[in-house]
Homo-oligomer: A and B are copies of this chain.
Amino acid sequence: MGNEGSYVALGLKVWRAQIERAGKLFGGLSSEEVLREIAPGRNRLLYLWGHLTAIHDAMLPLLGLGERLHPEFDVAFVSNPDKSRAGIPSHEQVRRAWNVVHAELWKGFEKMSSSDWVQRHSAVSEEDFAKDASRNRFSILLSRTNHLSYHLGQAVLGLK
């Protein structure tokens, strides 16, 4: 019997802790606060929140857990910079999407076995995966957790 389960459990524990931290930080903002910039001329908190929601939504197909729930978030929060478009999803829409996406991800994670985590993710071909087995689902979990921490470090600067 290996220790695979303990590595996966740890990866999920760190993911969950960062998601809860982000959920408290963004979820506690008023509709005015969410429009604050993290530094003068930089991204607004709402943009970061929507950006993280979009990137995490895209983990559903990447990890084989289902279709995206909010593909329309990409044009507002991924492929275009903040303040470049007139209409982006509202504070309430981002809040709802954040909650729904993370509930869906967590439901999927709970069904994954440790051998599922070392399978290839859907953005890598079978051929490329045969050459580099590190391009697996666990690597997506670790890199998305770090991406979240990166933007959390920025988001705290926008508080008060």
Q: Which residues on A are within 8 Å of B, measured CB to CB? A: 1-4, 6-11, 13-14, 18, 38-40, 42, 114-115, 118, 133-134, 136, 138-139, 142-143, 145-147, 149-154, 157
Chain A to chain B contacts (Cβ below 8 Å), 20 pairs: A1-B2, A2-B3, A3-B4, A3-B114, A6-B118, A6-B133, A7-B118, A10-B136, A10-B138, A10-B142, A11-B142, A13-B139, A14-B146, A38-B39, A38-B157, A40-B40, A142-B145, A150-B152, A152-B153, A153-B154
Residues on B with C-beta less than 8 A from A146 are 14, 18, 145-146, 149
Residues on B with C-beta less than 8 A from A153 are 149-154
Residues on B with C-beta less than 8 A from A18 are 146
Contact A7 B9 (CB under 8 A): no
